[in-house]
A and B are shown apart, each in its own frame.
Chain A
């Protein structure tokens, strides 16, 4: 069974631009969560989607948004990029909501210049 895939793997953007990252969960998984990982802050939860609805949200500004499609694929968008948004963005999927076991993708490395 294919794992979680994320596209693109690497991205370079300029301050002020916006970016959209994509995540395809493991087939059959309905819950998708997003995380930001930086050397300074470590892994931080962004939001979780289940059945096309945002169920949980972390402490990030409104510039960070996401959505989930009917096939469980998910996208996250960051508008008005700042230098501090440079990070590894990880997507994780799980079969259902009530689980501690999430499967992570390889991440998208975003660099903002």
Chain B
């Protein structure tokens, strides 16, 4: 599985857009990029998944450049409830063995 590198922590003010970047230099052709969110004392929650270019759902966007060696999770207009740890994962399709990176601890400041 490809190894991911993320910033350890980030702070942002309420109402701002937050971008969390993940590096995955050795991503393989069949790999997909996924992001999970985890609150204290809870299991991770799936946010978004993508393969290339841009993917958007009701809570986030995922930007993936053409070389796919990095990706950016974008959270629009964050609120205090977005304070959590965000994990970037690269998954080989068909491999259910999720290997989480160290994650980014996002703190939203009122």
Contacts and interface: CB of A to CB of B under 8 A. Distances in A.
Contacts of B46: 101-103
Interface in A82-99: 88, 90-92, 94, 97-99
Interface of A is mostly: strand
Interface string B58-96: 000000000000000000000000000001010101111
Contacts of B100: 42-43
Interface stretch (A64-72, A73-81, A104-112): A104-112
Given A43-B100, A45-B99, A98-B93, A106 B49 contact: no
Interface range for A: 20 to 34
Interface of B is mostly: loop
Contacts of B42: 104, 106-107
Given A100-B49, A100-B91, A102-B98, 20 more contacts: A4-B43, A33-B96, A33-B97, A35-B98, A42-B102, A43-B87, A45-B97, A48-B97, A55-B96, A56-B95, A90-B44, A94-B96, A97-B94, A101-B34, A104-B44, A104-B45, A106-B41, A107-B41, A107-B43, A109-B41
